[in-house]
Amino acid sequence: MILHELIDYPTLRIIWWALIGVLLIGFAMTDGFDLGVGVLSPFVARTDMERRIALNAIGPVWEGNQVWLILGGGAIFAAWPPLYAVSFSGFYLAMFLVLAALILRPVGMKYRSKRPEAAWRARWDAALFVAGFVPSLIFGVAVGNALVGAPFYFTTEMVPRYAGSFLGLLGPFPLLCGVLAVSMVVMHGGAWLTLKTDGPIAERSRRYGSMAALAVMVLFALGGLVVWLLLDGYRITSPIVTDGPSNPLLKSVVREPGAWMTNYRTYPWMLIAPAAGFIGAAGAWLGMRARSEVGTLLLSKLSIFGVISTVGVSMFPFLLPSSHAPDASLTVWDSSSSHLTLFIMLVSTAIFLPIILAYTSWVYRVLWGKVTEEEIRRTTDSAY
């Protein structure tokens, strides 16, 4: 037996669908609180020293956290080439805005405290707010458009073509998802600041973080009602071939109301995902009000896991449906790399992902503890 045949093709496709979810959730759980601190900073940190404390709460870890986004993008490129081609080309302007905003973060973190002038620092504070708000909003809008369907198709030569515009992505439901994403990172950033800071910053973070947790519950419920009652989902009507070639045009797909709820009727255990989204947000709200720290952060992570997982299990096996040509929709069964490629990548992941997790855990353990004004004054040369 050839080595890569130890795991059959359909199973490898499922594994890589799950791994992409793990990487995206890992990014949201880690870099999510970095983005949230950027959004919260103008509201919870009102003096220059308070802003420096907030930045130093994420300063040692944000670069490592951002690696999860790079891993996710690389995994999509290698495991799901048609998905990469359609999303990174069709959503080019949106991706450019995300990258431009993310570039502001390292520049702002490094340059903000290089000069003492208030105007100089205020401009960089505004840049750091943009660096947190814009990517969060656009990532949420992207998820909303995945549920609605993106306007793309394939030519007879299997070249993807995008038939929409950037403004076309900003529909009511995608914007609702964008606001939900911003609320999630604000909740997560508030939970992180309550863990890493004391005094007025922590108190304000609890207040804004608890408000964001309530917003997450309300917006998540509203989004679920829209998906259930108003939004057309997608359903494969032709026989499903799980081990066939990666050609999205070899199937038939229809749009119909409520189709995104089918998996929950077929597999009731999938309701764990939305339940985790609500339970985590409610727990984070209660934790902030009870002045819990570690528990609040963990419950905030649970909410993020639940919300993102809900999208994945609702759409399965779809990765990115096409509103322009439903038959061209990308699914787990017809958009992956080859059997051998997926297997080699899985072996590499099994080796390197535990190393990344172990190193990340070690970093957080070493940097455990609260950021204080005294510490920043003591380490003026290295503090942000």
* pLDDT, mean of each 10-residue run, the chain (384 residues): 74 95 93 93 91 89 85 90 87 88 89 87 93 95 94 87 83 96 97 93 95 97 95 94 90 94 94 97 95 94 97 96 94 94 92 88 85 77 62
> Does 112 fall in a domain?
yes
Contact 41, 51 (CB under 8 A): yes
DSSP state of 249: T
Let me know: does 191 contact 37? Beta carbons within 8 Å. no
Rounded to whole angstroms, the Cα distance separating 331 from 102 reads 29
User: Does any domain span residue 257?
Assistant: no
In-domain check, residue 250:
no
Q: 169 and 11 in contact (C-beta within 8 Å)?
A: no
pLDDT for residue 15: 96
Q: Assess if residue 166 is contained within a domain.
A: yes
In this structure, are residues 320 and 164 in contact, taking their beta carbons and an 8 Å threshold?
no
Judge whether 31 lies within some domain: yes
Contact 176, 226 (CB under 8 A): yes
**Is 50 in contact with 146 (CB distance < 8 Å)?**
no
Q: Determine, yes or no, domain membership for 141.
A: yes
Specify the number of domains making up the chain. Answer: 1
Q: Does residue 86 lie within any of the structural domains?
A: yes
Domain that residue 323 falls in? 18-212+318-378
Q: Is 287 helix (H, G, I), strand (E, B) or coil?
A: helix
- pLDDT (tens digit per residue) in 319-348: 999 999 999 999 999 999 999 999 999 999
- Name residue 255's beta-bridge partners: 234
Q: Which two tokens stand for residue 213?
A: 């947790």
φ, ψ for residue 40, nearest 5 deg: -75, -25
Sign of CA dihedral 261, 267, 268, 274: negative
What pLDDT does 381 receive?
55
Any residues with CB less than 8 A from the CB of 355 and at least 6 apart, and which?
none
Sign of CA dihedral 243, 249, 250, 255: positive
Please work out, in degrees rounded to the nearest 5, the angle formed at the alpha carbon of residue 337 by the alpha carbons of 155 and 321.
50
**Residue 369 — φ and ψ, nearest 5°?**
125, 170
Asked if residue 330 belongs to a domain, the reply is yes
Give the pLDDT of residue 347.
92
Distance CA 64, CA 42 (A): 24
Residue 232: enclosing H or E segment and its boundaries?
strand 232-236
Q: What residues form DSSP beta bridges with 299?
A: none
Is the distance from CB of 274 to CB of 224 less than 8 angstroms?
yes
Q: Per DSSP, which regions of 229-275 are E strands?
A: 232-236, 253-257
Q: Residue 373: what pLDDT?
A: 81
160-162 and 330-331 as β-strands: parallel, antiparallel, unpaired? unpaired
